Amino acid sequence: MINIPSPRTSAEDVRPVQRVGRIEDLAYMSDLRSGALVDRDGTISWMCWPRFDSPAHFAALLGTEKHGVWRVGPARSSEQSPAPADRRRYIDGTLVVESSWITSDGTVQLVDFMAVTDDDLRLVRIVRGVSGRVPMRSTLRARPGYGRPRQAPGGPQVHASGRLSVADQGDGRLWLDTQTPCRVDGPDIVSEFTVSEGEEVAFVLSWRRGHDEPPPTPAPAGLLTTTQDFWVAWAGQSTYSGPHRDAVERSLITLKALQYQPTGAFVAAATTSLPEEIGGNRQWDYRFCWPRDSALTVEALLSCGYKEEARAWVGWLKSAIAGRPETMQAIYRVDGGREMRETELGWLPGFEGSVPVRTGNGAAGQLQLDVYGEIVSALYATQEHDPGLTPVVAPLIVDLVACLEQLWELPDEGIWEVRGPRRHFVHSKVMAWLAVDRAVRLIEAGRAEGPLERWQELRDAIHQQVCERGYDEERNTFTQSYGSAELDASLLQIVTSGFLPPEDKRVIGTVEAVQRELSTQGGFLLRYRTDGQKPGVDGLTGDEGTFVICLAWLIKALAAIGRVDEAEIHLGVLLGIRSDLGLLAEEWDPYASRQLGNSPQAFSLVGIVVAVLAVTAARRASNGQITPKAATV
């Protein structure tokens, strides 16, 4: 049994809190335009401004302190590493991080947040004295462009004058405002001070385009109140009130915090190049908008009553597609931009030595047929929850399916964005079926105009082809691609999409085959089998952790086929691998008991919402009794 912490289990009961540097040790903050990560020791090691996909000002997460860092915490000698906080949490219903240190001199708290406002970008750090007199130190080392070495000695220009310190950052400037004196120490802006019981010392780091005019003097307490009020009000809109509400709420808040508010786009994650295998080569940039990932995010938010985010996403999608679905990319920038050139940052040594560090993403130009299914499904759900959007959504669905009609028989790179040869992935075909099915339903209901009979025939043709070419009758399971013997966790969506009824023996056989062949220690699922040193089906060498959302799909599939007790056991495992703050990265290493991949990851957080809602609904439907149909087939 894996013994790991969760927001419902004290971390002291299962592991020492005196640990820093793992992915699960990172707390996430966002201003709905960008994101930052802060470790247990008060170190901000990742932050991009002015957008999620902008170059990082602090990139120590993927390198060393020389690549940009901001640390605030109790002062220690230069020979000692920073002390991890003894306790930390999100203030309830918010994205405000509170870290506490208990020292021999007294107790001190650090409150970290990115201000949610409509004006300047601000990262706020408030030090509060709880007891005694605690010596503190703030060390800010900003490095534009992911800490890229500069020809000019000493890096960006830094100086301190009164309360205001300045760091030039390319096309903009960072302004540090604090009431405590600062000094320039080489590349650093340093402040050393003592905080007593009842005292507060605040630091506000702002970014402004241009180099001349500083932002107005900030009011840290007012920014804190405004930001807390925003998150509490937003979280309070959730309509979910069942079991594991805290886990669902934290996942929803974090999903919202991955939205680029100016356009409505959702990024897949807040980071680039956190490894899927420590020391491996599977590092990718996820700070962009995947129509697939964002569609799944929208459906999760809708399922808990959030409509405004869906409306904003529909607006972004319509703008990005721009009336030409045939030119739709697999990935976009948050403003709808299409430039996604993949580049390796050779000066960064990577997280725990995992290289290369990449920016951009070459998968943008791939053909991923499943995307049409996920987008259409989300659009269909949007107009069901918000009928006023039907006049906007229906033409989008019709255009997308008209485009898919010309593409669906082609091989593609699929949901996992393989870098090997294209294949006829079964999941891609099932999602194509889903897109056509939802369009047909919309037309049948009189909410859209389209070639009803032709698309009814198309839906049947796709279904028949998948059942004939993607099903292994001898093993009673669907396979990863036509003619392949390999399995893929995405096949679980054959039942969750409604492609086949849950009592169908092929569905149950596929669920059991995926569990049998792709399960690892603890019941976690691989996406598919990799081949270590040899290139696998994805065209890459190396291995990876288990994919978090795949376990969520398994939970939903088990609940659908009536195995609710088993689904509930797996749900407990899924909830247990969250960090102490309720966050999840992309993958989980069940052998090293640690998170892997970019973080926080929308796919994984969607998985929490999907799994909890599926088990809750199944349990309520059965009134505590497991339906017998699936257990006896």
Residues 543-581: pLDDT tens digits? 899 999 999 999 999 999 999 999 999 999 999 999 999
Q: Where does a domain end: 169, 198, 222?
A: 222
User: Given the structure tokens 């903009």, which residue do they identify?
Assistant: 172
Same domain for 216 and 259? no
Same domain for 194 and 275? no
User: Given the structure tokens 């920073």, which residue do they identify?
Assistant: 82
Residue 537 has a pLDDT of 79
Tens digits of residue pLDDT in 28-55: 999 999 999 999 999 999 999 999 999 9
Residue 20 has a pLDDT of 73
pLDDT surpassing 50 at residue 19: yes
Same domain for 194 and 301? no
Q: Where does a domain end: 202, 222, 242?
A: 222
User: Given the structure tokens 């886990």, which residue do they identify?
Assistant: 247
Residue 236 has a pLDDT of 97
Task: Name residue 73's amino acid.
Answer: G
Q: Rounded mean pLDDT of the chain?
A: 91
Q: Which residues of 353-383 are buried (b: 16+ CB within 10 A; e: fewer)?
A: ebbebbbbbbbbebebbbbbbbbbbbbbbbb
Same domain for 199 and 313? no
Decide which of 60 and 627 is more confident: 60
Same domain for 198 and 266? no
66-75, 132-141, 527-536, 612-621: least confident range: 527-536
For every residue of 68-124, which 3-state class applies, written as one string? Answer: CEEEEEECCCCCCCCCCCCEEEECCCCCCEEEEEEECCEEEEEEEEECCCCCCEEEE
Task: Name residue 25's amino acid.
Answer: D
Q: Which residues lie closer than 8 Å to 203 by C-beta, 6 or more apart?
A: 72, 124, 125, 126, 127, 138, 176, 177, 178, 191
Decide which of 560 and 539 is more confident: 560
**By residue range, what is the domain housing residue 197?**
31-222
Decide which of 633 and 373 is more confident: 373
Separation of alpha carbons 548 and 589, rounded Å = 10
Residue 630 belongs to some domain of the structure: no
Instruction: Please compute the mean of the pLDDT values over residues 1-23 and round it to a whole number.
Output: 46
Instruction: Tell me how far CA of residue 628 lies from CA of 120, 516, 563, 622, in angstroms.
Output: 58, 22, 9, 10
Residue 13 has a pLDDT of 37
pLDDT surpassing 90 at residue 8: no
Residue 77 has a pLDDT of 67
Same domain for 533 and 414? yes
Residue 9 belongs to some domain of the structure: no
Residue 443 belongs to some domain of the structure: yes
Instruction: Tell me how far CA of residue 517 lies from CA of 475, 497, 578, in angstroms.
Output: 12, 22, 25
User: Given the structure tokens 């990851």, which residue do they identify?
Assistant: 601
pLDDT surpassing 90 at residue 633: no
Name the pLDDT band for 628 (thresholds 50, 70, 90).
Answer: very low
Q: Where does a domain end: 222, 255, 285?
A: 222
Separation of alpha carbons 309 and 237, rounded Å = 12
Residue 448 has a pLDDT of 96
- CATH no. for residue 468? 1.50.10.10
Decide which of 183 and 248 is more confident: 248
Residue 624 has a pLDDT of 53
Decide which of 481 and 209 is more confident: 481
User: What is the three-class DSSP state of 293?
Assistant: helix
Separation of alpha carbons 262 and 313, rounded Å = 11
Q: Which helix (H) or strand (E) holds 614?
A: helix 602-622
Tokens of 248: 């669902």
Query: Could you give the percent of the chain with pLDDT greater than 70?
Result: 92
pTM for the full predicted model: 0.94
Domain count, the chain: 2
- CATH no. for residue 117? 2.70.98
Residue 173 has a pLDDT of 86
Tens digits of residue pLDDT in 316-356: 999 999 889 999 999 999 999 999 999 999 999 999 999 99
Residue 551 belongs to some domain of the structure: yes
Residue 14 belongs to some domain of the structure: no
Is the distance from CB of 349 to CB of 64 less than 8 angstroms? yes
What are the φ and ψ backbone dihedral angles of 304, each rounded to 5 degrees? -115, 20
Residue 581 belongs to some domain of the structure: yes
User: What is the three-class DSSP state of 27?
Assistant: strand
Name the pLDDT band for 134 (thresholds 50, 70, 90).
Answer: very high
Four-residue CA torsion sign, 302, 288, 264, 203: positive
Residue 499 belongs to some domain of the structure: yes
Same domain for 410 and 505? yes
Strand partners, 101: 108
pLDDT surpassing 90 at residue 493: yes
Q: Would you call the peptide bond into 275 cis, given omega within 30 degrees of 0 as the criterion? A: no
Separation of alpha carbons 299 and 400, rounded Å = 18
Tens digits of residue pLDDT in 373-432: 999 999 999 999 999 999 999 999 999 999 999 999 999 999 999 998 999 999 999 999
User: What is the three-class DSSP state of 244?
Assistant: coil
Residue 388 has a pLDDT of 94
Q: Which residues lie closer than 8 Å to 115 by C-beta, 6 or more apart?
A: 31, 121, 122, 123, 124, 223, 226, 227
pLDDT surpassing 50 at residue 15: no
Beta-carbon-side half-sphere exposure of residue 162 (alpha carbons within 13 Å): 2
DSSP-derived letter for residue 269 is B
Tokens of 15: 């592991």
pLDDT surpassing 70 at residue 130: yes
Residue 154 has a pLDDT of 52
Tokens of 479: 């396979």
Q: Which residues of 3-28 are buried (b: 16+ CB within 10 A; e: fewer)?
A: ebbbbeeebeeeeebeebebbbbbbb
Residue 14 has a pLDDT of 36
Name the pLDDT band for 2 (thresholds 50, 70, 90).
Answer: very low
pLDDT surpassing 50 at residue 5: no
Residue 604 has a pLDDT of 98
What are the φ and ψ backbone dihedral angles of 497, each rounded to 5 degrees? -85, -15
Task: Using only the alpha carbons of the chain, give its radius of gyration.
Answer: 25
Is residue 553 left, alpha or beta, with left meaning phi > 0 and alpha meaning psi from -120 to 50?
alpha
Separation of alpha carbons 402 and 400, rounded Å = 5
| Exposed / middle / buried, residue 625 (Cβ in 10 Å: 0-12, 13-18, 19+) | exposed
Residue 538 has a pLDDT of 78
Residue 543 belongs to some domain of the structure: yes
What are the φ and ψ backbone dihedral angles of 535, each rounded to 5 degrees? -60, 130
pLDDT surpassing 70 at residue 218: yes
Same domain for 273 and 202? no
Same domain for 375 and 278? yes
Same domain for 167 and 270? no
Same domain for 275 and 377? yes
- Angle at CA 474, nearest 5°, toward 471 and 477? 40
Separation of alpha carbons 495 and 492, rounded Å = 6
Same domain for 265 and 203? no
